[in-house]
Amino acid sequence: MFSPLLVLVQGSTPASIIGPMQPRHLAILGVGLLGGSIGLAVRSRLKGCKVAGYGHRAAALDVALQMGAIDERYEDPAQAVRGADFVILCTPVGRLASLLAEIAPVLSPGTIVTDVGSTKRAVVEAAEQSLPPGVHFVGSHPMAGSEKRGVEFARADLFDRAVCITTPTPHTDPQALTNVESFWQTLGMRTTRLDPVEHDRLLADVSHLPHAVAGALVAMQDDAALGLCGKGFLDMTRIAGGDPGLWRDILLENRQNVRASLKRLEGHLNELDGLLEHGTPDQLEAWLRGAAERREGLLLRRADS
């Protein structure tokens, strides 16, 4: 029987026995709020890991370099990934497919590629189609962020205690999946796995539709009403301040699910409208109580986790 050390030396061990590998040379493609925060977190938690950054705006790259979020700046994604063992795509989701096509020819076998997109079906499909054999893609959705935009708002602790969803498929390399999960855990995240199609369906309900509704709630107000808004309204519409270009991509890419979510929301609103029209006070209270208890349960569940 080999000892673990001997196994390691032999070089024939399943990687799961030697544990997850951490990146030594990371390429971050897109240095905005998320990309910049990943860079800062990696530089503080993964000492010795080189961080290359690509961005299409020279000014953002300069800021990222100055903040210490990246070690090297590139204005060409193919140059940025050269030599990297771990690549994270951090551009808006509408740019992911073309970015994969641009870097595919220069990635070495063994490289792990992941992303931070809020929709997953399309990027997983694009990666499985365009990346060469031996390059391992694992979809990721770190659920952290802000309605703020730009690398100047990046923070090393942005991911702390937040959830990262990974979206493996039957084609996903198990070791690459473990490595990607381990990476997010190093940044302070809890990880969970979902099928990419299921991910997009659930996120339409709990994230993409709410964003659209926040926008509609702001858009419908006249100035006099807005002048009276309280903390409740401000909290409720905070996410409407998010980057319009980023959200355009998310809503378009997930449009079928978002439209289905919208239809279901309208069903619930119509139910309420019916109660306002001809329901009893008790029925209306029961509707409100159901929502309040569900919200309460959500807080308790999160407090537990």
Within residues 136-175, the interface with a copy of itself by CB under 8 A covers 143-145, 162-163, 165
Q: Residue from 1, 5, 234, 300 that binds a copy of itself (CB under 8 A)?
A: 234
CB distance 109 to 175 below 8 Å: no
264 contacts: CB under 8 Å, gap ≥ 6: 205
Nearer to a copy of itself, 65 or 162 (CB): 162
> In angstroms, what is the minimal distance from the CB of 215 to a copy of itself?
3
Q: Which of residues 170-199 bind a copy of itself (CB under 8 A)?
A: 192, 198
> In angstroms, what is the minimal distance from the CB of 241 to a copy of itself?
5
Q: Which of residues 92-111 bind a copy of itself (CB under 8 A)?
A: 94
247 binds a copy of itself (CB under 8 A): yes
Nearer to a copy of itself, 14 or 281 (CB): 281
Q: Residue from 5, 47, 222, 304 that binds a copy of itself (CB under 8 A)?
A: 222
Q: Which of residues 30-89 bind a copy of itself (CB under 8 A)?
A: none
Nearer to a copy of itself, 7 or 236 (CB): 236
> In angstroms, what is the minimal distance from the CB of 172 to a copy of itself?
20
Site size with a copy of itself, rule: CB under 8 A: 85
> In angstroms, what is the minimal distance from the CB of 240 to a copy of itself?
5
Nearer to a copy of itself, 53 or 117 (CB): 117
Please choose, out of 19-27, 29-37, 68-76, 254-262, the segment that lies near a copy of itself by the rule CB under 8 A: 254-262
Q: Which of residues 202-221 bind a copy of itself (CB under 8 A)?
A: 202-203, 205-207, 209-221
Mind spelling out the 3-state secondary structure of the chain?
A: CCCHHHHHHHCCCCHHHHCCCCCCEEEEECCCHHHHHHHHHHHHHCCCCEEEEECCCHHHHHHHHHHCCCCEEECCHHHHHCCCCEEEECCCHHHHHHHHHHHHHHCCCCCEEEECCCCCHHHHHHHHHHCCCCCEEECEEECCCCCCCCHHHCCCCCCCCCEEEECCCCCCCHHHHHHHHHHHHHCCCEEEECCHHHHHHHHHHHHHHHHHHHHHHHHCCCHHHHCCCCHHHHHHHHHHHCCHHHHHHHHHHCHHHHHHHHHHHHHHHHHHHHHHHHCCHHHHHHHHHHHHHHHHHHHHHHHHC
Q: Which of residues 284-303 bind a copy of itself (CB under 8 A)?
A: 284-292, 294-296, 298-299, 301-302
